[in-house]
Amino acid sequence: MKSAPEMQNVRGVKIYPPKHKRVLKLLANESAPEIHGDKVWYSSYFIMDYLDAKPPQPKTRVLDIGCGWGALGIYCVKQFQSKVTGVDADKHVFPLLDLHAKLNNVNIAGKVSKYEDLKPEFLAKQQLIVGGDICFWDELVDPLHTLIKNALAAGVERIVIADPGRPPFLRLARRCRRLYKAKIKKVNISAPRRHDGYLLIIENTN
């Protein structure tokens, strides 16, 4: 019989593999995630590397959209002492986020919401928005654009979204380049595995 997969440590963030006994035990007592929140997706690592090169100021207020298990937000807390709120439309990911926050000895606030439902007064409290692997369906392009538009109007300083390069993400990226002078950057990682992808970087010039 195979032993349970060991915990991973990626960029200073401790992460349980999806088949780890603690994850399976939690899912046995909770409903399973419904919107692909069943593991840490690789685009989170694209953003971690980008932030390592262009770090936010300490204690920056960060909104991790489509947060899933919370690895990206945990990284921001541990590396930059950020004040992080994780947002996801799937309420069932939050027990897994809490599990990983506790494992990493950090605190992350959680909020159940769709992108387009985040209120301007809430967005105005944020300085940096990040999100990895969050534009995987065509029907997510318009809600994400609504969030980006509202966030920039509310004064959010920087938005960074990463993806392997799915067509919906590229549509969103091209729209943001046209409307907000966003940058689209090709990136790659070699660990924990080799992956290529893109960053969408929007700086607020208002």
Residue 2 is assigned to a structural domain of this protein: no
pLDDT tens-place values along the chain, 206 residues long? 455 557 888 899 999 987 788 888 777 766 655 544 455 668 999 999 999 999 999 999 999 999 988 999 999 999 999 999 999 988 888 999 999 999 999 999 999 999 999 999 999 999 999 999 999 889 999 999 999 999 999 999 999 999 999 999 999 999 999 999 999 999 998 888 899 999 999 999 87
The whole-angstrom separation of Cα 105 and Cα 14 is 10
- Structural domain of residue 182, as residue ranges? 8-203
CATH of the domain at 36: 3.40.50.150
Instruction: Tokens for 188, please give them.
Output: 């790659």
Count: domains in the chain: 1
